[in-house]
Every structure is written in C-alpha cells, then in structure tokens.
Structure 1
Amino acid sequence: MPTSVYIGVDIGTTNLKALAIHARSSAIVAHAARPVETLSPKPDFAEQNPDQLWGLLLEAMTELDKELPDSVTIAGVCFSTAMHSLLAVDEAGKPLTNALIWSDNRAVQEAATIKKDHADLYQSIGVPIHPMLPLCKLAWFGRTNPRLLKRATRWISLKEYIWWKLTGRYEIDYAMAGATGLFNSPKGVWHTPVLTLAGVHTEQLSTPVDTTHTVPYNPPANGAMPGLRAGVPLVIGASDGCLANVGAGALEPGITTITIGTSGAVRRTSPRPIRDAQARLFSYMLHHGNRQQPTLYAVGGPTNNGANVLQWVAEKLLHLPVDEALKQAADIPAGADGLLFLPYLHGERAPLWDASVRGSFRGLDYAHSSAHMARAALEGVLFNLRRIDLLLARHAGPTRVIHANGGFAQSPYWVQMMADIFGVPVRLNASNESSGIGAAMMARFALAEPPTTLAELAKTVHFGQTFTPNPATVKGYQQQYKQFEALIGG
C-alpha cells in the first residue's frame, strides 16, 4: 500500500465517484461510487438536487476513507464534473432551484433565437449554441421567471456549489467556465456582451481561475469531510471531458480520445483553441500555460447518442438484456447487409447541433431481421462519431490511434467494430475511470515536488488491450460510411 495518494472526485451525470491513485505510479488503490438521481418533472426537464449530490460525496469519501489505511497520507484532492449545469443560490449559498443539467432541453426556443440573432458569438465563446448551455438556460429563466433571474445572488454549476461547500469560495475553473457559453477563454474573462444577453452581471458569477488553482482545506466547525485533514490541498480541477483526456493519456498529436457512456464524445488535446466555420466543435481550456506547461485545450464534439442507443435496442427492439442484444448483433455481418441507422434518438449535438433531429432506419427490406437492426444501430453510433472525428481532423490533423473508454469498452465486439469503422488501432485504458484518474493526475501536476508536466504524467497511464482494424472490413465500412454521410447531408 502506498504511503501517499492523490484523490480524484468525478461527479458525473449518472454516478459520483471518488478514487485514490498511487502518488507515483497512478495505479488505483481505492474506489467508491454512488448513483446520482436525475429528476424529470416535465418533458425536456432534467434536474439534479445539489444537496443530495453533496450527501453522496460525503458517503463516497467516507467509504474511501475506510478503504485507506491510517498510514496513508492524502497529498491532494482534485475535482472533475460534468459540464453545463446551472442553479441559483441566495446570499447564504442556499439553493433556490435544482440544477438544470446538460441534458435539460427546456431552452430550445432561446437557443434557436440566440443562434439566429447572434451567429458570430461562437467565435468568442468557442462552444456551439445549444439548449445545454447555461447561457440559454439563463435566457429561459429570463423569459419564464425574470424575478428569480434578478433575485438570485449567484448562478453557479454543481461543481461550484461543491467547491463553495468545501472552501467557502465562489470560484470556477477555466474549463467549466468555457462550457457556460458566457466566457471568453482566450482572454480568460467573462464575455460582457453575452452577459447582457443572458440577463446577468459578473457579481452573480464566480471568479474564474486556472484548473490548477489550489486552496488548503479548512474544516468547518460543524463537521469535516471524511478523511481530509486540515490543510490538505484542494485543487479545483476541470470538466470531466478535459480530465478524461488526461486520464486517458491522450495529450500527444494524433491521439484521439473517444468515450462512449450513456452519451459520447470525440476529443483531442491541442495547444490552441479551434473555431469551426460552421460552429460545430468545442474548445475548452485544459490548462493556462506557464513556463512548466504550455497552454492546452480539449477540442472536439459531443454526441447525445451513445450506449443509450444500445439500451434502446435491447429494451424496445429485441426485448433482451444488453449482453444478449450484443450477441444477436454479432451474428450479423459487418454492414448489416446494407441497412443503415441514423442514431438520433435523443436529438443531437455534434455534428448536427439540432435538438429536434430524430433517428431512422434506411434501406430496410423484408430480408432484414431485428438482429440486423441491432447491428445497424451499433454501427450508426460509430458512424456518427466517425463524422465528428473527420470534422475534428480538418483542424487538428488525422487520428492515428484512439484511446477508448466508457461503458462500451466492456464489449470487445463493439470496440473491434470501432477499429474497423475508423481504420486505426483502438487502445483501451486499463480503467474506465479516465475522468477520475485525470482529476487525481491533475492534483499531482499541480502539487508534485519536483514539478512535473502533464505529458510526463500521461506516460504513467495504464492500458489494456489494443484492437487493430481488419483491412477487409475497413474497406467495406468506408463505402457504407459514404452512404451514411450522404443521408445526413455529407
């Protein structure tokens, strides 16, 4: 057992996790997780209770503390959190609302209006206009509850709420700030014109800080966080997408991280932000540069349609458990005998950025079975991710290897399909906890003596199996991908 560990706290959409990694090897030595409940009180609403989330963090840290021997020292704690959440708090820090999370779609009207009337906004904020953005959610509050918009002392994310509970400070890291649609990342400041559009002012927002910003833990009189001694460094960290790149060891040119959980994302690490001419890609600051480490951005595109498509196939199409659905799909040849599936069951972010788009089968005929439909659905998810990858390649160069993680990585069959559709090797991380590992590694980067770089830390990431593409299958998929592109407008 190591004598020193770094803790990464990963607050995701479906699970809150806390893990401890060895201070030198980055190996996971302890882990705790709790499921997170999402509330849907109305159609298109998706909310989470911030105080319930705080309680889950206390539970997870209690379990982690029990797993670690008394002789182990916690060298630092760092935080990874899902992006785009928004809640209001009063002057005492008490929540006035639940948190609207990324999948909340109530601001569709506001997003459409902002996109139409402010087409040039993307160049400043670096993220496509979509209902997920706090910018659009604030505009929705301005239309439906203007008194609350003005009465709220602060508008913050779930991460900011947790950070305030721990430190008493309203601070937001550059990565999370970049995901609000309210922030000018290259300048590192709130973007004044868009604040006017959202109906808020800087005093209602947190202070932006770098992702390595550190505060010593000062336990409150009414109860300390389990396992944390006074003075232990708390590192603010970044968003889950940015830190997944770090935890996946994907910092070099040509390495693309692809995560498929409930949803999915294609990401690269870049020394500069990118701006797509059609506003289809995001750029979030991973670290503000200094002499030790140049500036880094996580660039790419997210999809709404990942393993949730597989769940739909299993439950609604085949009426089978997920593993049985995968087996049936595996019995069908690559290409599903010409059947194509547009996987837009939940609208879509990248590459379409259209919350109203829906899925469909194309080329369906009498010879196709439900197993063909299952195979086509899995291929459709990957075809859509491939389109994001090719779009990203125009700005950041081609992918030479994929570092893959997320729940889909538990299916060798689906991972091999990815290698064949993308035509490059797919390397699995040894753990699917890339965001949590990335958070713990960010703590090490911020605090280690002597100083180290993120590139050096990336070399400590542990990997599992590598899947190489089958040339014959790759050729067939190349032809079918052209048909997929033609269906969605090439």
Structure 2
Amino acid sequence: MSDPHAPGPTGPGPAPHGDPDAIWLGLDLGTQSARCLAVDGTGTLLATAARPLTSKRTGTRHEQDPHQWWTALADACREALAGLDTHRIRGLAIDGTSGTLLLTDTHGTPRTPALMYDDGRATDQAEAVNTAGAPTWQELGYRSMPPSWALPKLRWLLDHDPALATGTRLLHQVDLITWKLAGRQLPSDTSHALKTGYHLIDERWPHDVMDTLGIPTDLLPDVVRPGTVLGTVGPEAADATGIPTGTAIVAGMTDGCAAQIGAGALTPGAWNAVLGTTLVLKGSSDHLIRDPAGVVYCHRGPGDTWLPGGASSSGAGVISQYFHGENLDVLTDQAAALDPDAVAYPLVSTGGERFPFRAPEAEPFILGDVPTRATEFHAYLLGVACLERLCFDYLDHLGAPTDGPLTFTGGGARNTYWCRLRAEVLGRTVHLPEHAEGALGMAVLAATATGATLTETAAAMVRPGTEIRPAPDRTTRHLPTYHRFVTELTHRGWLDPAVADHALRRAAP
C-alpha cells in the first residue's frame, strides 16, 4: 500500500542543544520487524534499515523467540550504519511492543519465550491480579488489567513453572536489548513497566501487591523515567551492531509512545493515531485520565503531563489476513472508485477487543453487501475509520482533551486514500509527518541527552509533512455508516449503551 504522494521536505527546525551534526539512533522492535534509523540534530534522515521478525500464534497465545530480536536488530544496525561517519553517533533509544515480557537467567539468557503484547492466555491470573491490586489500579486510572497485560502473564509463567521464581529476571522486550548493548542489566523504563503494575504516581513497584501475588522482589528490574541515560554500548555489542563503544543508551518508551514523539504530538489535546497491525491512539493531557472501564491508560509524559491512550485489537492486520498476496494498490484504486458503504469490524486478534471497549468474545463481522474483492477491501478500510472515530468518541466521553492537532503514523498511513477516508470519517484535519515511525521518536528521545526538553527536541527534529483537510460533505456521507457500525456493536452487547449514545450524539447532524 505505497503512497504515490509522499510528502516532501518542509525544512528543518532549529537544532536542539549541542552539536547539530551529531547522529542519533532510534531502534524499534515491532511485531513484524526490527528497525534502526539514524538522523542528525535537525531530524534529517540519514539511514534506515530493517529485518523481519516472526511470531507464533496458537489460539489466544502469541509468542516470539527473543533471541531473534537481537540478531535482527544487530543486522539492521550494521546495514543502516555502513555508510555513515559513526564517530558522530552520540546516543540511542529503543521502543518495543507494550506488555511483551520474558524471563531470563541472571546472565540475561532467555528461559522462556516472549509472551507478546496481545497474548491472552492469562485469564485466571488476570482475575487474581485485579483482586490483589484493585485499589492501586483504581488510583492509576485503568481500574483493572486484561489478560494481555504483562503482570497477569508474569503470574502465568510462574504458575506454570514454579522453578522460574528463583534465579530469574523479568525483562520487558527492550530490556533484553539494552542488556545486550551494555553487557549488563540496565534499568527498565516507566513506559514499558506500566503494564507490569509499576506505580507511575509514586514511581515505585507496589510491593504489597507483588507480595500478595507471590512475585519475588528480586525478579523485578529497577525502573527510571524515559530519557534517562542508562549506560553505554560495550565492545561486544559494538562489534555486533556497528554502534561505537561508549554510545549513550537512553531509556526508551513503548511503540505507541515512540510514534507519538515521532509525530510531535506532545502538547495537551494533541493525538497521534498509529495504524499498524492494530490501531493505537496516544495523546497528551494536563491531567491523569481515569477510565472506569479500564481500557484507557496513561503513561507519564514530559514534565507534569500525562499521555493517555489505548491499544485496539483491530487494525490494518486484517489486510494481511484477508488479502494476503493481492495487489493492494490495485484494490485501493478499485475500492476508491466504487466508494461503497459496506463496513467491516476489523478485528485482528482472536482474543477479542480491548479498545475502545473490552469484549473478549468479540468477533469480526461485515454490514452490507460485498459482492467483489474491492468492495470487501473497502469495507475493512472503512471499518478501521469507524473504529477510530469511536475511539475518539470514547476518549471524549472520559473527559480527555481531543481537540488538538492530529497526526497519522504507522504502516497504514502510507495508503493515501485510506488516510483521506479516515480523515473524512473523523471530520478532522490531519497531518502525515514526513518520517512516520516510532524509530524517529526514539531518536528524538535519545537527543534529549543533550539537556534539551523533549518538547524542544521534537520541535527541532520532527517535520509536519502533508496536511489532509476533509470535505464536510464527505464526512456527512459517512455518518449513517458510522451510526450502523456503533449500533451493531451495541446490539451485540460489546459496547456500553452510554458510550454508544455519546458517540451518536456527537455524530448527529
């Protein structure tokens, strides 16, 4: 789904404090690939490379072999840095998938597979976690943890192999990479530790909850704020990656937050929508957003801000599921010419939905006739757009500020027609940043090692790219489809009627 109208350069902003010729690296561990990106202090892209990752899905289980993370990322780094003056490299930061974890021995060797961000096996453990930590989770705003979060999955691992409770370390996805880079265990960051139950307000592990759950204290990592310099790259990792020995390793964030930084969505009311395998929304607020239903949660932002958001189990992954091997550019052109109003609920995961509602029993469906492949393809494009609008209606229902600038990032943002369709359904102007990926966000975060704030650094390094302004009549045209979509979700018992009523009121002419 290539974009034939790629945005051109809009000109760099002022460089952050320090050397504008310095090179900053952003490392990204996604579901399907490991990426290395290099930019200078003005945000100019110097090099990028990626290597594929593979997963194993069985029912509600989703695993990866953690060994491949390092080999894939090391290969990507060597390719990206091959033609650069590596003496200019000053620092790096890494993002990973939210809620992905594994257990290693005390030398950092994996003892378990990686349980991925949407692995839903820990149903019984989630019940125990929510009983033990109810007051804490309430205070932190998300009320309860679904089975896909890291803490229930940690308890599952310990339940199924009690021997893992001794001589092991809990690592989030990026923690394994920082260990390999430095040659020793480094602290985790608050962003990745959120779904393991880290107390973001008090900035500590809730040891009373962990004791109740039988989770040993020495299994948990130290935790620091994103942007903290953790250590430096060691000689063994330098040989494997091409990153110079002594390069600063800066604490990163989860992939959704990384994309948010890369999009520059850091002022209160600003939002970034990451359309990858699943849809992730990340915004900025001047206050903690508390969600009685527990599907929206907040990361700590720069300064006193909070970064509310949610990760859906629906998204562009339906395209690879249902249209694998087909010419997506041709299908897009055909779908755009037809402009039908059939709509699909674009659920990717077999574990049900998690945002903008929690429904473990949710299943995909299609409303309307889809007599051709192009019509069916369009139904999924439109379904993602409708789900995205419902996400924003839900956030508004919670009192989150949503009226600031909006950006689209992720693989789905490369399809120009789909971006326009999403903007039309939302009825909002959007921007497509020039380099729309989480790896850029991590390069920006790494550059805060100069002493500049994250907001200042993002202003200097993030380029706004292309603007899309939807025509009001096109938004009006899609409102009946959105109405049918929301009504069907409510009829199936997945969407709270109060949320549906709020969404439909906002969609009223």
Deviation of the 1:440 alpha carbon = 0.9
2:328 aligns with: 322
Asked whether the 8 Å contact 2:118–2:148 carries over to 1, the reply is yes
Asked whether the 8 Å contact 2:104–2:112 carries over to 1, the reply is yes
Amino acid at match of 1:359: P
Deviation of the 1:342 alpha carbon = 2.3
Amino acid at match of 1:65: L
How far apart, CA to CA, are the structure 1 residues paired with 2:106 and 2:268?
A: 45
Counterpart pick for 2:25 among 1, 7, 27: 7
1:183 partner SS: coil
Amino acid at match of 2:200: S
Deviation of the 1:277 alpha carbon = 2.1
1:238 partner SS: coil
Counterpart pick for 2:61 among 45, 48, 54: 45
Asked whether the 8 Å contact 1:247–1:441 carries over to 2, the reply is yes
How far apart, CA to CA, are the structure 1 residues paired with 2:122 and 2:259?
A: 28
What's the % identity of the aligned pairs? 27
Q: Which runs of 5+ in 1 are unaligned?
A: 288-293
Amino acid at match of 2:30: G
Equivalent residues in 2 for 1:375-390, closer than 5 Å: 375-390=378-393
Deviation of the 1:191 alpha carbon = 1.6
Quickly say closer, same or farther: Cα 1:221–1:295, change in 2 above 3 A: same
**Are 2:152 and 1:146 equivalent residues in the alignment?**
no
**What is the TM-score of this pair, normalised by structure 1?**
0.88
Counterpart pick for 2:195 among 179, 187, 195: 179
Amino acid at match of 1:439: M
Deviation of the 1:197 alpha carbon = 4.8
How far apart, CA to CA, are the structure 1 residues paired with 2:316 and 2:236?
A: 44
Counterpart pick for 2:122 among 107, 115, 118: 107
2:292 partner SS: coil
Deviation of the 1:37 alpha carbon = 1.7
1:86 aligns with: 101
1:424 aligns with: 428
How far apart, CA to CA, are the structure 1 residues paired with 2:450 and 2:220?
A: 27
Asked whether the 8 Å contact 1:242–1:286 carries over to 2, the reply is no
Asked whether the 8 Å contact 2:448–2:457 carries over to 1, the reply is no
Deviation of the 1:213 alpha carbon = 1.5
Amino acid at match of 1:462: R
Asked whether the 8 Å contact 2:100–2:117 carries over to 1, the reply is yes
How far apart, CA to CA, are the structure 1 residues paired with 2:187 and 2:222?
A: 5
1:301 partner SS: strand
1:437 aligns with: 440
Quickly say closer, same or farther: Cα 1:320–1:8, change in 2 above 3 A: closer
2:396 partner SS: helix
Quickly say closer, same or farther: Cα 1:147–1:33, change in 2 above 3 A: same
Asked whether the 8 Å contact 2:129–2:213 carries over to 1, the reply is no
Deviation of the 1:190 alpha carbon = 0.9
How far apart, CA to CA, are the structure 2 residues paired with 1:28 and 1:310?
A: 29
Equivalent residues in 2 for 1:440-479, closer than 5 Å: 440-448=443-451, 451-455=452-456, 457-479=458-480
How far apart, CA to CA, are the structure 2 residues paired with 1:187 and 1:137?
A: 23
Asked whether the 8 Å contact 1:250–1:458 carries over to 2, the reply is no
2:362 aligns with: 357
How far apart, CA to CA, are the structure 1 residues paired with 2:380 and 2:233?
A: 50
1:237 aligns with: 252
Quickly say closer, same or farther: Cα 1:206–1:360, change in 2 above 3 A: same
How far apart, CA to CA, are the structure 2 residues paired with 1:456 and 1:228?
A: 22
**Are 2:204 and 1:199 equivalent residues in the alignment?**
no
Asked whether the 8 Å contact 1:88–1:96 carries over to 2, the reply is yes
2:12 aligns with: none
Deviation of the 1:414 alpha carbon = 0.6
Deviation of the 1:271 alpha carbon = 3.3
1:274 aligns with: 289
Equivalent residues in 2 for 1:360-371, closer than 5 Å: 360-362=365-367, 364=368, 369-371=372-374
Asked whether the 8 Å contact 1:309–1:378 carries over to 2, the reply is no
How far apart, CA to CA, are the structure 1 residues paired with 2:317 and 2:237?
A: 41
1:227 aligns with: 242
Deviation of the 1:399 alpha carbon = 2.9
Asked whether the 8 Å contact 2:256–2:281 carries over to 1, the reply is no
1:299 aligns with: 308
Quickly say closer, same or farther: Cα 1:215–1:145, change in 2 above 3 A: closer
Asked whether the 8 Å contact 1:136–1:198 carries over to 2, the reply is no
2:88 aligns with: 73
How far apart, CA to CA, are the structure 1 residues paired with 2:461 and 2:106?
A: 44
**Are 2:347 and 1:341 equivalent residues in the alignment?**
no
Deviations 1:249-279 (A, max 9, x none): 1112332101101111111022332111222
How far apart, CA to CA, are the structure 2 residues paired with 1:51 and 1:361?
A: 39
How far apart, CA to CA, are the structure 1 residues paired with 2:486 and 2:270?
A: 24
Deviations 1:204-239 (A, max 9, x none): 110011112213425246964543333322112211
Deviations 1:139-196 (A, max 9, x none): 3224332333x2342111121111122231241111111132x211111111224323
The total of aligned residue pairs comes to 468
1:290 aligns with: none
1:95 aligns with: 110
2:202 partner SS: coil
Asked whether the 8 Å contact 2:132–2:209 carries over to 1, the reply is no
Which is bigger in relative contact order (C-alpha 8 A, separation at least 6)? 2
Deviation of the 1:466 alpha carbon = 1.2
Quickly say closer, same or farther: Cα 1:117–1:279, change in 2 above 3 A: same
1:184 partner SS: coil
Amino acid at match of 2:362: V
Q: Compute the RMSD of aligned alpha carbons.
A: 2.5
Asked whether the 8 Å contact 1:86–1:101 carries over to 2, the reply is yes
